Chain A
């Protein structure tokens, strides 16, 4: 029983990692590229972001899952895509600021190619917003995936999953409280743990850049 319960955690965590990787990788690539090249590509990316943002995250996932069915890969894909617009926005604004700096102009005067400027020169300077995003998105992924399970659109049995357990056991909450309390506690521990850990990592990276946390936080807010 215990191993089955804990197994559910592993599945949840693995899915959250996959969705985060997808969302942050694609979202930041789009945001950084758009901010650096500007022009029409930037406009296109930003309009796409606007459209995607019009779907609240969980609803986007719900919509996709309802159409194809609660397949594991689809949940990962849906949650990953729902992260894209936010990640793209944050990284875009960070890159806009950066690409106006003179050290990037120096490279343009050398005739360095765009993809090289992005990967070798811009990217190392975007570590701190990237770390912050990974942290936020990982926590959100866990929240959304477990939420979907709770609503009945999570990974299907036999894969154990905490959200579904809570949902099915809550009718009998008075008779069998542990059936609800244990998975709820586990999810709480997992999300709080993840959030605290990634928050600490983000603080350390911001600290290394000697910026105030408040400034970094305000920058990370999509406006």
Chain B
């Protein structure tokens, strides 16, 4: 990859994600830059409410972390801070005051002059937000020249911001597709900071980046915010990232702000049950604990209940919550939208259950891989990979993007056939591709795909999808097929109601559970899970991980768990191998590898994982 961190970019640090030298600013100590009051967005001018009653302040030098799961409305708010709404949506009410000027009520021309100059935006996906037809230089210069900065000053400023964002001058001549993901995001950062705005809005700028790249980008964000004393709003679904960066945190649920306060206090003594539940779902890279998912799913716009929108999933729900929508109340330094805030804050205990792991009885290996070389066309992606997976155990395969971890899984499953070496399953050699393997071998190894949005045929019902698998491997009567289908769905907590639904009627988590049921219904011995939670929200991820763990224990499954997320390994993997550029660089029991590895790369990865400090 093109990430060449300069020495400046690697401040040595231990567990803390906040490097020495960049102290968190104290809220309230500086002048307020942004005031949001009663902000509301609807589907069309008078349609269904998407985001309602959002109010908060951000001061100069302060970073506000706006966290929430998908569909909570956080991107809608982020864009609203620039007076913008996506096609079909309309800002229906409220004020967004930037240094006292309400962006929602000024003429379009004036708003245009403020955008880019006083308030800047860093997009989630720079590969889509940078114009593919224009060189980087043009895209950086136009941001400056359109805001009346003189031609001579522009070149000097360009040199400054490239240095600040740790970019080489030659990126100016390049097109976006010629840069790596990390470089693209730095360009977007440089662009946003170029006019020295007083407010900067960052919309999940590190999604999709590897942990090390993510840390470098976060370091840049932190130092730039500090250097120019700007107010920043950092939107993220990742609580750990926000914890390391934000002075204040705002938690979104179903289009509302449900908790707001200093990050350390909110995360250590949350006042809202949803914040508590969200924190319990986050896997920790330090210690294994049972992940607590949140059952159910957030109500979509238009179907939000009349009372508290979290009441349908809240463990602390009382009658009043269902009848009456709570208003925001102050508890200590926190603003909480909950009837029971003062009573619950700090008293909702953190459930840190340690997972029970059944002692391993046999030490026989079920799968062995010897000297595996894999290729895509002419380029080699795996180099002499050796590994064994013991019966009944879960092997986690960890690596960054491009490390070859998915290719390894695909070779074992027979989806990728361009490889050399030996694969042995239960003593039998496996043929190169699934097409050449006998039906029995195919049944015994089942594969679960990363993205549940593409792994289910959108034209078939849940029942068809699961029973189809049975039809392929067993010659059994229709009623028995129906029976087993039902049982398999039951084992992933999906009742009969789901049988006739189509995939697009299901949430992401439910889809992934159907995919698991489809694998389990044919009673496999080995399960290959390829990044199965990376497309899901953290509260859903927790549900899926716990489900997989208990299924593995109950059914004596041997599992290969592919992931880029080291914190997850702690919760599910018993053994671990670390892949880097197609080679195994580290291996062993997961505790040993994660806690005291001799391998520098593994230690670096561990150090770069963002984490929630408690």
Direct touching of A and B (C-beta under 8 Å) = yes
Q: Is the CB of A102 within 8 A of B451?
A: yes
Q: Indicate if the CB atoms of B415 and A103 lie closer than 8 Å.
A: no
Query: How far apart are the CA atoms of A111 and B437 in the complex, in Å?
Result: 8
CA of A157 to CA of B442, assembled, Å:
64
Given A111-B442, A111-B472: A106 touches B455 (CB 8 Å cut-off): yes
- Distance of A106 Cα from B81 Cα, bound (Å): 44
Chain B residues with Cβ below 8 Å from A101 are 454-455
Residues of A within 8 A of B274 (CB): none
Minimum distance in angstroms from A177 CB to a CB of chain B = 50
A196: Cβ under 8 A from any B Cβ: no
With a CB–CB cut-off of 8 A, which chain A residues contact B472? Answer: 110-112
- Write the nearest CB–CB distance from A51 to chain B, whole angstroms: 29
Query: Is there a chain A Cβ closer than 8 Å to B316's Cβ?
Result: no
Residue pair B415, A105 in contact (C-beta under 8 Å)? yes
Mark B378-397 against chain A: 1 for CB-CB distance below 8 A, else 0: 00000000000000000000
The reply on B518 being an interface residue by CB < 8 A is: yes
CA distance A109 to B455 in the complex (A): 12
Complex contacts, B414 vs chain A, CB 8 Å? 109
In Å, the complex CA distance between A38 and B451 comes to 24
> At the interface, yes or no: A50 with Cβ under 8 Å from chain B?
no
Residue picked from A103, A112, A121, most chain B C-beta under 10 Å: A103
- B503 to chain A: closest residue by CB: A103
Output the least CB separation between B406 and chain A (Å).
Answer: 12
Closest to B413 in A: A109
Q: What residues on A are CB-neighbors of B439 within 8 Å?
A: 111
Q: Is the CB of A110 within 8 A of B473?
A: yes
Stretch from B201-209, B456-464, B599-607 contacting the other chain: B456-464
Interface pair A121/B434, CB less than 8 Å apart: no
Chain B stretch 413-446: residues in CB contact (< 8 A) with chain A = 413-415, 434-435, 437, 439, 442, 446
Interface class of chain B by DSSP: loop
Question: Is residue A108 contacting chain B, with contact meaning CB distance below 8 A?
Answer: yes
In the complex, what distance in Å separates the CA atom of A146 from the CA atom of B446? 57
Q: Is B365 an interface residue, CB under 8 A from the partner?
A: no
In the complex, what's the smallest C-beta–C-beta distance from A129 to chain B, in angstroms? 14
Q: A112-144 interface mask toward B, CB cutoff 8 Å, 1 = contact, 0 = none?
A: 100000000100110000000000000000000
A110 touching B469, Cβ below 8 Å: yes
Bound state CA distance, A103 and B469, in angstroms?
A: 12
* Bound complex: CA A124 to CA B451 (Å): 21
Task: Given the known inter-chain contacts A108-B434, A111-B434, please indicate yes or no for A125 contacting B457, CB distance below 8 A.
Answer: yes
Cross-interface CB contact of B454 among A103, A108, A110, A111, cutoff 8 Å: A103
Chain B residues with CB under 8 A of A103: 454-457
**B193 at interface, CB cutoff 8 A:** no
CA–CA, A110 to B443, complex, Å? 7
Tell me, rounded to whole Å, the shortest Cβ–Cβ distance linking B413 to chain A: 6
Contact of B447 among A109, A112, A121, A124 (CB under 8 A): A109
How many residue pairs between the two chains, A and B, have CB atoms under 8 Å in the bound complex? 47
Tally of B interface residues using CB under 8 Å? 24
In the complex, how many angstroms separate the beta carbon of A182 from the nearest chain B beta carbon?
46
Q: A121 near B457 (CB under 8 angstroms)?
A: yes
Any A CB within 8 A of the CB of B39 = no
Complex Cα distance, B530 from A102, in Å, reads: 12
Interface presence of B234 (CB below 8 A): no
Cα distance A110–B459 in the bound complex, in angstroms: 19
Q: Does the CB pair B458–A125 fall under 8 Å?
A: yes
CA distance A54 to B127 in the complex (A): 38
Q: A111-B437, A112-B472 are in contact. Are A102 and B413 (CB under 8 A)?
A: no
Q: Which residue of A lies closest to B447 (CB)?
A: A109
Q: Is B449 an interface residue (CB 8 A)?
A: yes
- Report B-chain residues with C-beta under 8 Å of the C-beta of A112: 472
Is B434 a contact partner of A109 (Cβ separation < 8 A)?
A: yes
In the complex, chain B residues whose CB is within 8 Å of the CB of A105: 415, 449, 455
Residues of A within 8 Å of B455, CB to CB, are 101-103, 105-106
A108 to B436, CA, bound (A): 11
Contact with B along A87-114 (1 / 0, CB 8 A): 0000000000000011101101111100
Instruction: Select B459's contact among A106, A108, A109, A125, beta carbons within 8 Å.
Output: A125
CB distance from B267 to the nearest CB of A (A): 36
Known: A103-B457, A121-B457, A125-B458. A108 touches B435 (CB 8 A): yes
- CA of A110 to CA of B446 in the docked complex: distance in angstroms? 9
Q: Which of B447, B457, B472 has the most CB of A within 10 A?
A: B457
Chain B residue nearest to A210 (CB atoms) is B504
Contact with A along B51-71 (1 / 0, CB 8 A): 000000000000000000000
B415-A109 in contact (CB<8A):
yes
Complex CA distance for A28 and B6, rounded to whole angstroms? 55
Closest to A124 in B: B459
Within the complex, what minimum Cβ distance (angstroms) separates A83 from chain B?
26
- Expressed in whole angstroms, the Cα–Cα distance for A103 and B473 within the complex equals 17
Residues of A within 8 A of B434 (CB): 108-109, 111
Nearest CB in chain B to that of A110: its residue: B472
For A116, the closest partner residue in chain B by CB is B472
A112 to B457, CA, bound (A): 15
Q: Which of A171-203 contact B (CB under 8 A)?
A: none
Q: Which residue of A lies closest to B473 (CB)?
A: A110
Residues of B within 8 A of A125 (CB): 457-459
Given A102-B455, A105-B415, residue A110 in contact with residue B449 (CB < 8 A): no
A110 to B522, CA, bound (A): 11
Interchain nearest-CB distance for B259 vs A (Å): 34
A121–B464 Cα distance when bound, in Å, is: 11
* Shortest distance between the CB of A216 and any CB in chain B (Å): 16
Pair A102/B449 contact, Cβ less than 8 Å: yes
Shortest beta-carbon contacts, A-B, top 4: A124-B459, A102-B455, A102-B449, A110-B472
Could you show 7 A-B contacts with beta carbons less than 8 Å apart? A102-B455, A109-B413, A111-B435, A111-B437, A111-B442, A121-B460, A125-B459
Having A108-B434, A111-B435, A125-B458, one finds 14 other A-B pairs with CB under 8 Å, namely A101-B455, A102-B449, A102-B450, A102-B455, A105-B415, A105-B455, A106-B455, A108-B435, A109-B442, A110-B469, A111-B442, A112-B472, A124-B460, A125-B457
